[in-house]
Amino acid sequence: MVEIAGIPTMVLTRKGFTQVVGNAYAGFGFAPEGPSVHEFPLAMFEPVGPCVGECSDLTPLKEGIEHIVYGLTKWQPEVTEKGIIYPGEKIAVEGKDYQEALANLNYLFLQRDWGDGLPQLPATDDRVDWILTGTDLSPDTEIGKILPRGGIGTVKMLAIALAMAGGRPEYMPVLIAAMQAILDPELIHQSFNATTCSTYPVLIVNGPIGKQIRLPSGYGCLGPVPSHPAGGSIGRAIRFLLMNVGGAVPGIGTMAIYGGPARYTNIVFAEDEDHLPDDWPPLSVDRGFPAGSNVVTVHVARSTCNTRGGNPIDDEQARTLLDGFATNITRDTQMFGPPGAFDRGGAPGVQLVAYTNTQALSALGWTKEKVLAYLWERSAEIKPSPEKYWAKEPGNLILVVAGGAQGMHSYWMGMGCCAGVPTSAEIELPANWDALLAQAEEDIGPLPAYI
């Protein structure tokens, strides 16, 4: 029998979730199937007809009782050791030439449910070793357990994922910090990685590193931006890790009903700190880090909304612009259960603002602190407490300056189900940082102008 804390345990699930249970079992070292799991048909949980008398068919419960008793009292698993070791043994893929071998590699990935379904680069020893020059950490250093399967994410696993995503060594410090923030227990990644809601991580990078590695922050900052490709590669590597190591494969480890285009690369971008008004500190400072620190902050979104609103020229227009932001915030407060269900001081989402908007607001006396306070109070007026359970104070709101110079649009990313509070991690640079940047300039050219 399966024992948890010394108590015989039986998993009862409904049809459609047995693979999810097996995926979780694999993370504990157990076989993904067996008598310790009993599946009930979906109809047992649905009302029958007008719901007179018994509202559902409970016959399968009676028919399955002997199997349940056997699983609780007699069955023993064949596997006695738990844990998943990553990476496993190397694979060799052949073809008449490199092009055919690469195609065969990608066919193999599709057959084994590896990756995201798009073409991937081979993570050869040479390429992974090259990626590993982007960190001073040992390849065997454990970053953490990636759920729901529970595979152990090591630095080498991160390098393999980044190699498959077409990344470069100078991206590694951001990827490592990003995964540290994602695996922070406060974010509750095991929930957002497995939920039926179509969630994905949103990563905001602050500090000089954003510009140094060509993370997008201006026009088209949520991608794609060919001149600033780092966000796409880093985000796709994160998706590989969540799927291949964490087991979040649709219908097996994640039950996200729709998924979505943002899940391919998630959302990874930098705040446009070059254009911040003096009275608008960057997000990293809001999060408690010293100005100029290289920091990544992670929240979880489920949907986005492009909203209109030009640069205000007087206080009335400023309030109209901010009322639009407050409407976005309040629209999401009713999405996640009863008041208090997720009352952990979290944020309802991420509000992106064009820098010309913030400069215009600042010129009218609207500091970032004043804007956050206004959004807090205005959202309470639009949808009064206690429904505003997602944040305990104005500082919980996430307001980020990014996007192009034209302030005709803003962008809202609403919080995804089951995530915890936003998390942040400081980015550690390797000793050879300057050499990595010099090599990047040699490989892909001088850092291009970008607004």
**How does DSSP assign 59-85, residue by residue?**
HHHHHTHHHHHHHHHT---S-------
Query: Hey, what amino acid is at 112?
Result: R
Nearest to 427 by CA among 335, 279, 298: 298
DSSP category for residue 289: P
pLDDT band at 429 (very low <50, low <70, confident <90, very high): very high
pLDDT band at 414 (very low <50, low <70, confident <90, very high): confident
Q: What's CA 449's distance to the chain center, in Å?
A: 29
Sign of CA dihedral 293, 295, 301, 303: positive
pLDDT in tens, 46-100: 655 555 555 666 677 777 787 778 777 777 766 555 544 555 678 899 999 999 9
- Note whether 144 and 179 are within 8 A (CB): yes
Q: Is the pLDDT of residue 334 over 60?
A: no
Q: Is the pLDDT of residue 258 over 90?
A: yes
Per-residue model confidence (pLDDT) at position 310? 84
Sign of CA dihedral 251, 253, 258, 263: negative
Per-residue model confidence (pLDDT) at position 158? 98
pLDDT in tens, 269-313: 999 999 999 999 999 999 999 999 999 999 999 988 898 888 999
Per-residue model confidence (pLDDT) at position 101? 95
DSSP category for residue 335: S
The H or E element that residue 409 is part of is: strand 409-415
Token pair recorded at residue 370: 């004043």
Question: Rounded to an integer, what distance in angstroms lies between the CA atom of residue 306 and that of residue 80?
Answer: 52
- Note whether 271 and 400 are within 8 A (CB): yes
pLDDT band at 340 (very low <50, low <70, confident <90, very high): very low
- Note whether 39 and 14 are within 8 A (CB): yes
How many other C-beta atoms are found inside a 10 Å radius of the C-beta of residue 362?
18
Segment 12-24 mean pLDDT: 73
pLDDT in tens, 26-52: 666 666 555 577 777 766 666 555 555
In this prediction the pTM is: 0.87
Question: Rounded to an integer, what distance in angstroms lies between the CA atom of residue 356 and that of residue 342?
Answer: 34
- Note whether 255 and 20 are within 8 A (CB): yes
Q: Is the pLDDT of residue 385 over 70?
A: no
Per-residue model confidence (pLDDT) at position 18? 74
Local structure of 40: helix, strand or coil: strand
What does R_g of the chain's alpha carbons equal in angstroms? 24
pLDDT in tens, 143-160: 999 998 889 999 999 999
Per-residue model confidence (pLDDT) at position 342? 46
Query: Hey, what amino acid is at 57?
Result: D
Helix/strand/coil (H/E/C) assignment for every residue in 227-270: CCCHHHHHHHHHHHHHHHHCCCCECCCECCCCCCCHHHHCEEEE
Per-residue model confidence (pLDDT) at position 67? 77
